[in-house]
C-alpha cells in the first residue's frame, strides 16, 4: 500500500510561509550583529601582533 493509495501524498501536504518586513529586518540586523561579534576578537588579536610575527605564524 502506497501513501497515494491511502489518500495523502507528500505533494499535498504544505504550508504557507509568510515573512513580514519586520521579521526580515530583525533577522538581517541579528545576522550582522553576530558577524561583527564573531570578528571583533580576532581583529583585536591581529591588531596587537607585530606584522612580521603574524606573517611568520600564518
Q: What is the pLDDT of residue 20?
A: 94
Residue 54, C-beta contacts closer than 8 angstroms, at least 6 positions apart: 46
Q: What is the pLDDT of residue 10?
A: 63
Give the predicted TM-score (pTM) of the model. 0.55
Q: Does residue 9 contact residue 3 with C-beta atoms inside 8 Å?
A: yes
Delimit the domains of the chain by residue range.
19-57
pLDDT grade for 38, boundaries at 50, 70 and 90 = very high
Tell whether the model's pLDDT for residue 22 goes beyond 80: yes
Q: Does residue 46 contact residue 54 with C-beta atoms inside 8 Å?
A: yes
Calculate the CA 40 to chain-centre distance. Answer: 18
Give the integer Cα–Cα distance in Å for 39 and 42. 6
Give the integer Cα–Cα distance in Å for 6 and 3. 5
Tell whether the model's pLDDT for residue 26 goes beyond 60: yes
Amino acid at each position: 500500500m502506497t501513501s497515494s493509495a491511502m489518500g495523502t501524498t507528500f505533494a499535498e501536504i504544505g504550508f504557507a510561509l509568510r515573512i513580514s518586513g519586520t521579521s526580515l529586518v530583525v533577522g538581517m540586523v541579528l545576522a550582522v550583529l553576530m558577524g561583527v561579534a564573531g570578528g571583533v576578537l580576532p581583529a583585536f588579536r591581529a591588531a596587537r601582533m607585530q606584522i612580521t610575527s603574524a606573517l611568520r605564524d600564518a
